[in-house]
Amino acid sequence: MNSNRKTIIAGNWKMNKTPKEAEALLGEVLPKAAGASCEVVVCVPYVDLPIACGKTAGSKVSVGAQNLHFKASGAYTGEISAAMLQEIGVSYVVIGHSERREYFAETDATVSLKIGAALAAGLTPILCVGESLEQREQNIMPEHIRTQIKIDLSGVSAADMGRVVVAYEPIWAIGTGKTATSEQAQEVCKLIRDTLAELFGAETAETVSILYGGSMNAKNAAELLAQPDIDGGLIGGASLKADDFGQIIAAAQ
């Protein structure tokens, strides 16, 4: 972590927790985040957003959505716009998660449009990038990551880049129990920062918070967060357990 950048611990609940269950979990999480010096975010399913925004009002915890549509309105059945999220008090939105890319045909082109829509509505996008095991083993990880960054952020100005968070999630370490070593995670997070420096200038790149999102948990959080280019975590399974999430928040202090 770098003290000049915002440290962010964001929980991605994925498709878990009904509104009642969300209210109960937030009741356990809020006390653990009360003394946090880092930014704490819970990215919850759409139906839980009103409860989460109400429950976290006036607290140290911000609320994020897990997706949005890039159009402001229209005939897009089942979709949610940035303005809808912004009006109920959402402040962050996860964009381009590997599960969206794999299961729901998300492309770098649509990710780029969604980043623009989020920024236009005043939301903070958490852009997810990462490689598969096959891409890592074929030694094309650097090109893949750089291509994702370049296309996904192609419509973003240097001024707006300061409002974007990037999360590195090695796809081979999501939900598998495998974690990149702290050295592997740092290597790719530095690659991301170097790519941002090429695109937006070194000064801007130094201000961007880069999160690690591959099975960070209570046991490995401190070691990962000690790396110079890792500024927080996008936490999956561990964010559904208040004690584990609390320990990760504590590790970020």
Catalytic residues: 97, 169
How many CB atoms within 10 Å of residue 161?
19
